[in-house]
Amino acid sequence: MGLGNPGKQYANNRHNLGFMVIDRIAELRRLQFYSGNGPYLWATDTLSDSGNVQNVCFAKPLTYMNSSGVAAREILRQFDLSPERLLVVYDDIDLPLGRLRIRPNGSAGGHKGVKSIGSQLQTEKFPRLRLGIGPQGDGVSAEDFVLADFNEDEQRVLADVIEKSTEIIFDYLQSDIDTIMNKYNPINFREKNTGII
């Protein structure tokens, strides 16, 4: 489940990076979103690897960010899944743009959407893919920063982050999380785009 806010006015906000990743997967896999049995959109895909068939649901809450947990709870209920099966993809202001972290669980770290999920599911034991959008800059409130669009400089890094995030998700679905953490957590796309490495 990618986190974000529904509506065209939010589409390119930093806070909608989770939505952007899910939309990119839908584009690549030619998936169509449908209304769920709760406040969310969902699309299904069937993956096959070495004869193993796996059905996957990709979802976007319609609750607005701070109530994302309501959608998460209903998604798990509709598909009869445990929280450990829900990978949450979201922006993280505490990570610089170009860095990402995948973890099997953790705290909300100040992210109200993730806090809502933890509250509604009554556990923080769900995997998450955190995508950096920081730093927010001096004199800019966190709320104003996350609800602003990515600037022109950030766009060059953003495209790589989205593409790599789709790769991580499909890799995650066919591997164990420790392998994925070791493979992807060291990546820094901003260094790549500025020629530092």
Residue 125's CATH number: 3.40.50.1470
**pLDDT recorded at residue 118:** 98
Annotated catalytic residue within 3, 4, 13, 15: 15
- Is residue 181, in this structure, part of any structural domain at all? yes
Catalytic (active site) residue 15: yes
pTM of the model: 0.94
Half-sphere exposure of 126 (CA within 13 A, CB side): 27
How many angstroms separate the CA atoms of 87 and 114, rounded? 11
Six-digit token string for 113: 């959407």
Closest CA to 88 of 64, 63, 115, 110: 115
**Main-chain dihedrals φ then ψ at residue 52, nearest 5 degrees:** -90, 125
Query: Helix 112-121 to helix 68-79 angle, to the nearest 10 degrees?
Result: 40
CB atoms within 10 A of CB 163: 14
CB atoms within 10 A of CB 97: 25
**pLDDT recorded at residue 15:** 97
**pLDDT recorded at residue 72:** 98
Q: At residue 110, what is the residue type?
A: G
How many angstroms separate the CA atoms of 162 and 152, rounded? 16
Tally of residues, the chain:
197
Full residue range of the structural domain in which residue 149 is found: 8-194
- Is residue 1, in this structure, part of any structural domain at all? no
Number of domains, the chain: 1
- Is residue 3, in this structure, part of any structural domain at all? no
How many angstroms separate the CA atoms of 20 and 151, rounded? 15
CB 88, CB 17: distance < 8 Å: no
- Is residue 120, in this structure, part of any structural domain at all? yes
- Is residue 2, in this structure, part of any structural domain at all? no
User: Per-residue confidence of the chain (197 residues) as pLDDT tens digits?
Assistant: 999 999 999 999 999 999 999 999 999 999 999 999 999 999 999 988 777 889 999 999 999 999 999 999 999 999 999 999 999 999 999 999 999 999 999 999 999 999 999 999 999 999 999 999 999 888 999 999 999 999 998 998 999 999 999 999 999 998 999 999 999 999 888 766 544 33
